[in-house]
Amino acid sequence: MIVMGMGGIYRGIVEDAITLVERVEADLWVVQKDTRGPFAEISRIPRDLEDRVLTVPGVESAHGFVSHTVQRKYKSKPLRLTIQGLSWPIDKGIWLPITAGRGLSQAHYELVADKSSRLQVGDKLALGKEIFTVKGLTKGMISQAGDPMAFITLDDAQAVQFDLSPESIRIERTARVNRLFNIELGQTQPQMSERASGLNSGIPALGTSMISAVLVGVKPGNNIEAVAEQIEAWPDVSVYTKDGQKQLLLKGSVDRARRQLGLFAVLLIIVSAVIMALIIYTLTLEKLHDIAMLKLIGARNSVILGLIMQQALLLGSIGSCIAYLLGQWIFPYFPRRVVLVRGDIYSLGIIVLVISILASLLGIWRAMRADPSEVLS
Amino acid sequence: MNQSNSNIALQAAGLTKIYGSGHTEVVAVRDVTIEVNRGEIVALLGPSGAGKTTLLTLLGLIRPPNMGRIAIEGTLVFDNHQAKVDLRRFRRQKLGFVFQKTNLIPFLTAAENVRLAMEIDDQPAKVSRKRAMELLEYLGVAARAHNLPSMLSGGEQQRVAVARALANRPSLILADEPTAALDSIRGRQVMELFAKVAHEQNAGVIVVTHDHRALDIFDRTLEMEDGQLRKSHN
């Protein structure tokens, strides 16, 4: 069951990793130059890049993408959410697999969360300096890290991301004024200090909001690769296709998780094989007298071998069935999503059969050595 | 050794079995010659360590003799230590075994235990089922056919064991102290059963026993001492 669970966790990690990339209708992902995109590492690009991308021939849509993880206390329990910013009003989250409530219908303070967050429609959640109301619930929208996703508008997502406490803001403004006087600009234009001590948005050079990526939709009939090449030619961005982004995800942290889980699974299979071999060996020892009797009355070695192998296969099959049924019951309570794929279950079944056969070899070896004369008094 | 007489179940001549070698050498059976006819029941007596069980392992084709020849139903099986036939196949087709402990498979019913002997000889299930019921009826335990061994008395278990030994119509039945775990009355009943089997099923029966109270049942008694056959009484 543990091996089955590990395989399921790996499948879950893969599915979680690519869920968003699969769901978001984007042909291209434009990210910060020489970075691997918003999931593999930090990517910061100016939000007005959307407008630049829209000027490229063949581009149908371009909207910003913000993704970051928050952890808040909710109803006395820690709540982790991966916040995804939707480019309101272009993107209202219609593509989301909503199972309860609705998508976003206003520019601020509405939230659609995955039901694995245990939030309910109508729940209120404080993020940044605002209170957000849960308006809808999705199913299966889990981040690469296994956290439930929450969808709010891009502006809200940025506000949450860059939210600072009033004291932090005051300290930063004071520090900014001090920094200004340390450079030539502050000495030649002392009136700048008034602006430096004010709002970020009052200083255009500092106020440009940053996003993680721009999602690009290519017009039907246009070559996606050709559009990507044009954008890639810009010196400040890197471009990935949908498949490219998925490969980055799967070859990054998911790959490490896969290898780690694979290693554990192999170790567990070896341990299971040893345990099973010992069980079958012990069971064979218990039946050694009967085996000797069978040999005495003329049973062929193949009959005895068949009996032991039958026992091993039965043990393996029953164990697999119990593990599967138990898994179906327990896996939904696992902290990470466990996805059981039919192919994996069949493969595991074959592995169990092979283990059963290998494990029975020790028992068979002992049975073949049983002396029929042991039966005589 | 006359191998043409079809009435002879067992012929063994000059059987010798030696364990170990050099200064640890033990001669367990020394130059034993024995002949048992079909329909004859023979008791093999002797004190512990006389070599009875070793002789049984030789006659039962479990171990090869160092010297001597064994023929069963006219077929030469061992010529010195060399086997002349497939011993397992020969054992399951020509020999029947009954032990002190009944050695019934505990999770099989009485009928299934009897069928087991036929099924390992690849006999069809329909045939084995019919034969098992016939044998259990013949031995008076048909009513317990579907009971597990643990639900049977010692005497009943031994009858089932005899039924299993008879399953493949053997020409020779070897019984190793089959009444040792039974009281005298049940012990005698089992010995009478062996006599009945020998006479009615036309099989040669050799019974290793310490029980001198039922010797009148046997056609012949052989006594062993120090690995040799000392006396023979008719």
Residue with tokens 């982004």: A245
Residue A285: half-sphere exposure toward Cβ, Cα within 13 Å:
7
* Cβ separation A295–B97 shorter than 8 A: no
Judge whether residue B193 has pLDDT over 90. no
| Residue span of the structural domain in which B143 resides | 37-62+86-233
Report the pLDDT value the prediction gives residue A64, as an integer from 0 to 100: 87
In a domain, B6, yes or no: no
> In chain A, which residues touch B (CB < 8 A)?
289-290, 293-300, 303, 372-373, 375-377
Cα angle B234, B207, B33 (rounded to 5 degrees) comes to 60
* Cβ separation A290–B120 shorter than 8 A: no
Report the pLDDT value the prediction gives residue A208, as an integer from 0 to 100: 57
Picking from B99, B117, B121, the nearest residue to A376 by CB comes out as B99
> Any chain A CB within 8 A of the CB of B138?
no
Cα angle B44, B48, B54 (rounded to 5 degrees) comes to 60
| Residues on chain A touching B105 (C-beta within 8 angstroms) | 290
* Interval A296-330: pLDDT, tens: 888 888 989 998 998 889 988 998 899 889 988 99
Q: Report the CATH number that the domain containing residue B199 is assigned in CATH.
A: 3.40.50.300
CA distance B156 to chain A (A): 19
Report the pLDDT value the prediction gives residue A373, as an integer from 0 to 100: 82
In a domain, B172, yes or no: yes
* Cβ separation A298–B164 shorter than 8 A: no
In a domain, B191, yes or no: yes
Report the pLDDT value the prediction gives residue B13, as an integer from 0 to 100: 94
Per-residue pLDDT of chain A (377 residues; tens, 9 = 90+): 887 888 888 888 888 878 888 888 789 999 999 988 787 788 888 888 989 999 999 999 998 888 888 998 888 889 999 999 988 888 888 889 999 999 999 999 999 999 999 999 999 999 988 999 999 999 988 887 888 999 999 989 988 888 888 888 888 888 888 888 888 877 888 777 777 777 766 665 555 568 889 999 999 999 999 999 999 999 999 999 988 888 888 887 678 887 888 888 888 888 888 888 888 888 888 888 889 989 988 888 898 999 899 888 998 899 889 988 998 899 888 888 888 888 888 888 888 888 888 888 888 999 898 888 888 75
Q: What is the DSSP string of chain B?
A: -----TTEEEEEEEEEEEES-GGG-EEEEEEEEEEEETT-EEEEE--TTSSHHHHHHHHTTSS--SEEEEEETTEEEEETTEE-S-HHHHHHHHEEEE-SS----TTS-HHHHHHHHHHTTT--HHHHHHHHHHHHHHTT-GGGTTS-GGGS-HHHHHHHHHHHHHTT--SEEEEESTTTTS-HHHHHHHHHHHHHHHHHHT-EEEEE---GGGGGG-SEEEEEETTEEEEEE-
Confidence band, pLDDT 50/70/90 cuts, at residue B110:
very high
Domain boundaries, chain A: 19-162+209-251, 254-375
* Number of structural domains in chain B: 1
Q: What mean pLDDT comes out for the span B173-179?
A: 88
Report the pLDDT value the prediction gives residue B3, as an integer from 0 to 100: 47
In a domain, B9, yes or no: no
| Residues on chain B touching A311 (C-beta within 8 angstroms) | none
Report the pLDDT value the prediction gives residue A269, as an integer from 0 to 100: 83
* Interval A330-369: pLDDT, tens: 988 888 888 888 888 888 888 888 888 888 888 899 989 8
Report the pLDDT value the prediction gives residue B188, as an integer from 0 to 100: 85
> Any chain A CB within 8 A of the CB of B151?
no
Report the pLDDT value the prediction gives residue B2, as an integer from 0 to 100: 45
Cβ–Cβ < 8 Å for A301, A369: no
For residue B113, the chain A residue with the least C-alpha distance is A294
CA distance A260 to chain B (A): 45
Report the pLDDT value the prediction gives residue A109, as an integer from 0 to 100: 94
List, in order, residues 6 or more apart from B183 with CB less than 8 Å away. Answer: none
Report the pLDDT value the prediction gives residue A374, as an integer from 0 to 100: 80
Picking from B88, B93, B103, the nearest residue to A375 by CB comes out as B103
